[in-house]
A and B are shown apart, each in its own frame.
Chain A
Amino acid sequence: MEDLIRASLDHCIKCTICETVCPVAQVTPLFPGPKYEGPQAERFRLPSGSADASVDYCSGCGLCTQVCPQGVKIAEINSRARAHFKAQKGVSVRDRILARPGLTGRLGTPVAPLANRVMANGTARRLMEKAVGVHHAAPVPVYAGHSFQRWARHHERHASPRLDGRSVVYFHGCSVNWFEPDLGRMVVAVLEHNGVEVKMPRQDCCGLPLQSNGLFDAARRALGRLARDLSAGSAGHAVVASSTSCGVMLKREGREILGLDDDETLRAVGARTFDVCEYLLDLHGQGLLDTGFRPLPLTVIYHAACQQRGHSMGTPALELLRLVPELEVIRSEADCCGMAGTYGLKKEKYDIGMAVGERLFEQVRRVGPDAVACDGETCRWQITKATGRASVHPVELLFRAYGLEL
């Protein structure tokens, strides 16, 4: 009768389970919690939306929806309310910039050394905090100076990996393209090492940062375009994503939160999208994964990012890493690192984000691992910035355990 997200509030029996996991409510009374903002406040909202400002403190991590035993789409209700709030209050210049990693990536990459110097400069960062509200101490990504796409074009023309007939489309996302192209290359190498052909069509942002900053219309356009780009190049092949947040956007979040359920292309692409670790573990399930890993005598903490949990796929990264000899993997005791996409970058939320992440940071400091493995890029930046420890995508560990080189 009405949309399923709003109607799901009927399932809430106030059990408080979502409140036990909300990382933000744990550290600040400014956010009264997912139950309050979600199924409770929603009963007081008209379709035109409400101006309850506290919902803006939701980081959008999605843990509440995942743990809800009653099926209430808590995070999704909050996400929409946040969009309404922003629509009423107006979206700041800062949020408009953070919402467009593709644009900043394109602008920053040609001038990477300069851009990176500016970003590492304390005075410049304080000016930037004043001007646009990005906290001076927040971890901002480092421009690689060359895009992954450029490498991909070259790789497609020149490389000739040994393949066994399976093909995937790689949805690398903005961060690999502009900031971590080497991770993209490792993903391709690990897949090709297992005989999988990797197609890398041109692609742009999935719209997640737009969505989480309340710019729903722009997010819809971005996600629709991405689905068509990936679909055109994929011929029905599986789509593999190395960013868990962007992957889950493509799989489910976009359709649900942005109300794009009628977009057949998006639905079809989403249904054959896999997180890279999920895909590799499936290969293993079929006996197709090369498990001839070399020993990797390292200790790592594996942190399942909140968006990783949004996939409802278990922890395939953990299961893969356990296949690597001598690699000691310790599970993170924390639910969230505090970054939650672009949340922890914002001036007024930086302290909250750091407080959220403290449990993880404390564990990292206590254990002193060789690295922290985490599937989410902004989480990795946050962890490294906060603890000084290296952070890697789990695929990088597999890459090294295969003895591969870039």
Chain B
Amino acid sequence: MSGEGEIVVIGVGLAGLVAALRLAEGGRRVRVLAKGVGSTHLSGATVDVLGYAPFRVRSPAATLPEFAVANPHHPYALMGTAVVDDAVTWLKGRLSNPRYVGDLRRNFLLPTALGVAKPTAVAPQTMAVGDLTHGGCFVIVGLPGLKDFYPALVAGNLGSTVGIAGEAIEARAVDVDLTLDGRVDVGPLAYARRLDDPAFRAQLAARLHGRLGADDMVGLPAVLGLTDAEQAWEELEARLERPVFEIPTLPPSVPGVRLYGALSGALHRLGVSVTIGGEVLGAETHGGRVTGVHTETANGVRFHAAAGVVLATGGWAAGGLEMDSHWVVREPVLGLPVTGIPGGGRRFLPGYFDHHPLASTGVAVEGSLRPVDGDGRVVFTNVRVAGATLAGAEPWKEKSGDGLSLSTGYHAAMSMLAEED
């Protein structure tokens, strides 16, 4: 049902979930419409706020102000960097299984599935234990049949890494002989579901018994339970009597699925209607406002009146931005202006790691995340844009992905709530 005063949030990635939840908490009637499940399932679910700018960032809090000055079109600069802190605090207050730890004062250095020390501000505590900042001894555990995690590769690279003050990192890999019923082709979720079972966790601990050094910290692929990760993690630490931490695998991301579960569960509890598989095809507009959106349903196109819209449809990968074979770029849902389209047909350079001209293309916004055109004029006054659709950032390079989605989703909601007040 659609009614007056309802805010339509388009997209269920982190930005959409956060915006919807914050709006619902603020007392707004919210409807979430999404073409499919969002990028939470592909993300490590760590809140990377700012990892490189372009050198490795120790403290996002200290670096963000100068980063904003140097990158005036970056969403962080447009919103003001204080928002990021508020958003992080808010999110941490909503996540309990597992809890999230860390803040903007300093980045953790968390091992990736390649054994690279990636800077991240806030992480589930099941991961944060693996902080490499001050070196240490690490054992990386491999599970048989799991094809999305290679412990020897992780350990090998960790061994060539040092802590921030040059502290040594020792790392080795061990494989445990604990199959899932002998299966040889297993994804991370299959292990996660099984590790929800305390008996299976006990087996895992038993297989590691006697294979760990006194000072070892134990790194596992991020599969420590799906529904009760906190419990699984605590129990494993207790059984192994050593710090235990998770490392994100190739997608699907178990921590991402947990994060999605936590936030969408909160939405359901607040009675927010979430429709997955309800692609928004377009909008009705009047007088510089969006009055409602059309969605695809099984029996045709359906109209939802909207008092406001948060567009959180993601970037190129999610289809929030599109380029066709004639090299025409568009934002497909609301037809918003897209900025940063390189001229001269030079969109990508031949080197994979080159600075590609198309990289920070997206929808430009003003400080309250309302979309603007090339002259800086607001296009729709009751629309906010959040997440990877935004111009001016290169999340995967900056290591700012989930930080950007979180803070813009949060700010979109806050600025809408402020306006209504």
Chain A interface residues (CB < 8 Å from chain B)? 13, 15-17, 19-21, 26, 29, 32, 65-71, 247-248, 251-253, 270-274, 281-282, 284-285, 309-316, 319, 322, 331
A319–B273 touching, CB < 8 Å? yes
State the Cβ distance, A242 to closest chain B Cβ, in Å.
Answer: 15
A21 to B189, CA, bound (A): 10
Assembled-state Cα–Cα distance A373/B185 (Å): 37
Closest to B278 in A: A312
Find chain A residues with CB under 8 A from B296 CB: 312
Residues of B within 8 A of A68 (CB): 36
Q: Which residues 282-335 of B have a CB within 8 angstroms of A?
A: 295-300, 302, 314, 317-319
Chain B interface size, as a band, is: 35 or more
Closest A-chain residue to B313, C-beta based? Answer: A69
Q: A312 touching B295 by the CB < 8 A rule? A: yes
Choice from B251, B277, B300 contacting A66 with Cβ under 8 Å: B277
Chain B residues near A282 (CB, 8 Å)? 1
Can you name the residue of chain B whose Cβ is closest to the Cβ of A274? B299
Knowing A67-B36, A71-B279, A331-B268 touch, does A312 contact B252 (C-beta < 8 A)?
A: no
Interface residue B276 (Cβ < 8 Å from any Cβ of A):
yes
Segment with Cβ contacts to A, from B37-45, B168-176, B367-375? B37-45
B-chain residues with CB within 8 Å of residue A310 when the two chains form the complex: 277, 298
CA distance A300 to B273 in the complex (A): 19
The 9 A-B residue pairs with the shortest CB-CB distance, nearest first, are A69-B36, A66-B277, A251-B298, A285-B1, A252-B298, A251-B299, A314-B275, A16-B252, A67-B37
User: Is the beta-carbon distance between A67 and B277 smaller than 8 angstroms?
Assistant: yes
6 A-B pairs within 8 Å (CB atoms) are namely A68-B36, A69-B34, A69-B314, A252-B299, A285-B1, A311-B297
Judge whether B190 is part of the interface by a CB distance below 8 angstroms: yes
Q: Determine whether the beta carbon of A271 is less than 8 Å from that of B252.
A: no
Q: Decide: A69 near B252, CB < 8 A? Known: A19-B187, A21-B37, A331-B268.
A: no
Please state if B298 and A248 are interface contacts (CB–CB under 8 Å). yes
Min distance, Cβ B223 to any Cβ of chain A, angstroms: 13
Complex: chain B residue closest to A255, CB-CB: B298
Whether A16 contacts B42 in the complex (CB less than 8 A), given A274-B299, A310-B298, A312-B275, comes out as yes
Contact of A26 among B1, B193, B268, B295 (CB under 8 A): B193
Cβ of A319 and Cβ of B1 under 8 Å apart?
yes
Q: Is the CB of A17 within 8 A of B297?
A: no
Partner of A17, one of B36, B275, B300: B36
Q: How far is the CB of B187 from chain A (nearest CB, A)?
A: 6
Q: State A21–B318 Cα separation when bound (angstroms).
A: 18
Is the CB of B274 closer than 8 A to any CB of chain A?
yes
Report whether A272 and B299 are in contact in the complex, using a CB–CB cutoff of 8 Å: yes
Q: What residues of A have a CB within 8 angstroms of the CB of B185 in the complex?
A: 29, 32
Q: Which residue of B lies closest to A313 (CB)?
A: B297
Residues of A within 8 A of B346 (CB): none
Let me know if B351 is at the binding interface, CB within 8 A: no
Q: Is the CB of A66 within 8 A of B276?
A: yes
CB of B271 closer than 8 Å to a CB of A:
yes
Evaluate whether A67 and B276 lie within 8 angstroms (CB atoms) in the complex, with A21-B37, A311-B297 already known: yes
